[in-house]
Chains A and B, each alone.
Chain A
């Protein structure tokens, strides 16, 4: 069988906490060998990784692929092409499609479409409640059997405490993770930005920190007697970090997730940009103190997972008045460089820790570690990302591979980029070729 070689890079495997200068030989869809001086072996393809980090394929545990239902914004094909361009080899897609991903039939559909059209691996995260209406549990056991790697009503919060209690017990029995979109709905009706002085000045509906913190606090309490794997998605408030820190200290299976935009942007940009809807996120951008708390949480290991919340939207749904525009920002192509800007450039953590938060940690979160993903192991699947941490580039329209353009980072100068991506032994990106 044909051999592919990745030579001359610094190989980082967070699962074993190792960093070595080594080559990697791939045969078929598996890693055949990791070691020095493999470059002499005969090979069909050779990727020169000199000066680069060679890491497990990046995993994004929080993405919206919009198929089925909103294929004008994104499809499984276009979204995963963008993911691969950004260095990702696996993505976990959220269930807020139309119809919702709330039956085993829908799980089978997404997996079948991915099989036909995707550029990277796709793992569905299925709905907790039927129709994502927050009323009654969906068929969680059937969906887990069909291949769902976790459960969430993302886009909406599981607001009912009664439903949440049942969901925690049921999801625990499936062995999967329950991800929560933490937003108390009665406090955030009409909320489109951080509640504070700026929302008052701009006359925009406020979405207070407490609406996020209350849900996490409640869920942690409900989960005390259950012990289900619980994951707070896209954390925006510094107060949430404290709650998760305490829960983890008490030994509870609680994790949290940070997005690039919540680490880099603040709500004053909505005022200075005069209502630019590209800054409209859910949960909303907050203040510098929240960013500081998020970074502290990442530095001390409270926040262990990075996720983009890649949320593509058509021009038409963003180019409207602020209060009626869609929430969200695309993330695939820009995530790696933006995380490096927020975390490495600011000396919060180094590259190795950051890679861990983008590979091994999300793999464990979604049970992908049991498929050998999120790590570099001989005999394991050949999902590999090659990163040039020194490449300087500017985010422009031309860099975007996906179908939508909704990002406020256009024109931002960044450093660090995925230059090679291998998914299941197949080279999906090679900027060194």
Chain B
């Protein structure tokens, strides 16, 4: 996204956030606007999600939309249906937007292209109206609304909500950068708005090529801590790693927590865990973020995740406003 596009979405999100207020939304209060009245949003999640799915649902409902949750779509694909067919079927039922998560990079783009083609074609049984596609995470590629809510949280914390110019702010992203769509969306967005972005972790998790997105890389967490205004902590996505035969058999380490990229969780935490000691080395006004889910005691100490610098739950709060903005721009009245 260009800087102008980013600022457009973020500015609209700011409007919604102001309407909601600074406290979490009280769902019983009903809608805060009618931007999505009469619209139907389908959550099409081929991969597990709690935060993102609920966040999109809440955002849609509070702007007056109806929400259809399609979370066990695996049942169709397991019967041999392609992802495109599943999406086309749902879209044909009159859904205005599909919020899609899939484990393959590029899947949202592919589905969007396919639905565009269907909407343009004539004849019976095809789509009569266009259906928007919102990417809620495609593989390790992108998770745009997470990137946007991270930017919003930083802009809020450093009082840059007016123009979202993040010049002078240094953001560290520590952890499994290579597996992370959150990092990819974040790097691109933060860099476009003028922030300096440093990706931190062992070489196996921080590929040098990630620099092409506009960030620096660093393998020495302790050395860069004093430069950071923001540290965004990511978990190790073991489920996306190659598992070695030896690791699966290793003692005291269940297969789900083993990876060819990491010698041990103990070693990872020793060098890259955000402990209280490390958090104390950050700039005095620095903030701590985490997109969740948190592995407490691994990439971040509980005392830091729950500490004064932590904006982790604020990120979630801002997520609703950002998703309202995304949907309103796509299918708003």
Contacts and interface: CB of A to CB of B under 8 A. Distances in A.
25 contacts: A130-B246, A130-B250, A130-B263, A133-B246, A135-B244, A135-B246, A136-B244, A136-B250, A136-B263, A137-B260, A137-B263, A139-B264, A142-B270, A145-B270, A162-B260, A166-B204, A166-B261, A169-B204, A170-B202, A170-B203, A170-B204, A172-B203, A173-B202, A173-B203, A173-B219
Contacts of A275: none
Q: Which residue among B203, B247, B260 has the maximum number of chain A CB atoms within 10 Å of its CB?
A: B203
B54 interface: no
B267 interface: yes
A146 to B, nearest CB: 11
A107 to B, nearest CB: 13
Interface in B185-214: 202-204
B280 interface: no
B3 interface: no
A138 interface: yes
B266 interface: yes
A211 B202 CA distance: 32
B172 to A, nearest CB: 17
Contacts of A135: 244-247
B271 interface: yes
Given A166-B260, A169-B203, A173-B202, A139 B266 contact: yes
Contacts of A162: 260
A130 B219 CA distance: 22
List 5 A-B pairs, minimum CB-CB distance, nearest first.
A135-B246, A169-B203, A173-B219, A139-B267, A139-B263
B267 A136 contact: no
Which bracket fits the contact residues of B?
10 to 19
A141 B202 contact: yes
Interface string B113-148: 000000000000000000000000000000000000
Contacts of B264: 139
A72 B204 CA distance: 40
Contacts of B261: 166
A166 B259 CA distance: 12
A98 to B, nearest CB: 18
A124 to B, nearest CB: 17
A140 interface: yes
Contacts of B246: 130-131, 133, 135-136
A174 to B, nearest CB: 9
B314 to A, nearest CB: 33
Interface of A: 130-131, 133, 135-142, 145, 162, 166, 169-170, 172-173
A169 B217 CA distance: 13
Contacts of A169: 203-204
Nearest to B207: A169
Q: Which residue among B219, B247, B263, B264 has the maximum number of chain A CB atoms within 10 Å of its CB?
A: B263
A135 B244 CA distance: 7
Nearest to B246: A135
A175 B316 CA distance: 40
Nearest to B218: A173
Contacts, number: 48
A115 to B, nearest CB: 24
Q: Which residue among A133, A135, A138, A140 has the maximum number of chain B CB atoms within 10 Å of its CB?
A: A135
Contact of A141 (B245, B247, B250, B271): B271
A141 B267 CA distance: 7
Contacts of B263: 130, 136-142
Contacts of A142: 263, 266-267, 270
A166 B264 CA distance: 15
Nearest to B203: A169
Contacts of B247: 135-136
A99 to B, nearest CB: 14
Contacts of B203: 166, 169-170, 172-173
A166 B247 CA distance: 15
A173 B218 CA distance: 9
A136 B204 contact: no
Contacts of B219: 173
Contacts of A170: 202-204
A141 B260 CA distance: 15
Contacts of B202: 141, 170, 173
A170 B263 CA distance: 11
A165 B1 CA distance: 34
Contacts of B270: 141-142, 145
B190 to A, nearest CB: 24
Interface in B249-263: 250, 260-261, 263
Nearest to A131: B246
A153 to B, nearest CB: 13
Interface in B233-283: 244-247, 250, 260-261, 263-264, 266-267, 270-271
Nearest to B267: A139
B113 to A, nearest CB: 34
Contacts of B250: 130, 136
Given A130-B246, A166-B261, A169-B204, 14 more contacts: A130-B250, A135-B246, A135-B247, A136-B244, A136-B246, A136-B260, A136-B263, A139-B267, A141-B202, A142-B266, A142-B267, A166-B204, A169-B203, A170-B202
A297 B250 CA distance: 43
A228 to B, nearest CB: 10
A172 B219 CA distance: 10
Contacts of A166: 203-204, 260-261
Nearest to B249: A135
A145 B271 CA distance: 10
B262 to A, nearest CB: 8
Contacts of A133: 246
A138 B264 CA distance: 8
Contacts of B204: 137, 166, 169-170
A172 B271 CA distance: 16
B236 to A, nearest CB: 14
A58 B246 CA distance: 39
A144 B263 CA distance: 13
B25 to A, nearest CB: 44
A145 B222 CA distance: 14
Contacts of B260: 136-137, 162, 166
Nearest to A134: B246
Contacts of B245: 135
A141 B247 CA distance: 18
B155 to A, nearest CB: 33
Contacts of A140: 263
B208 to A, nearest CB: 8
A172 B208 CA distance: 13
A126 to B, nearest CB: 12
A135 B242 CA distance: 12
B271 to A, nearest CB: 5
Nearest to A170: B203
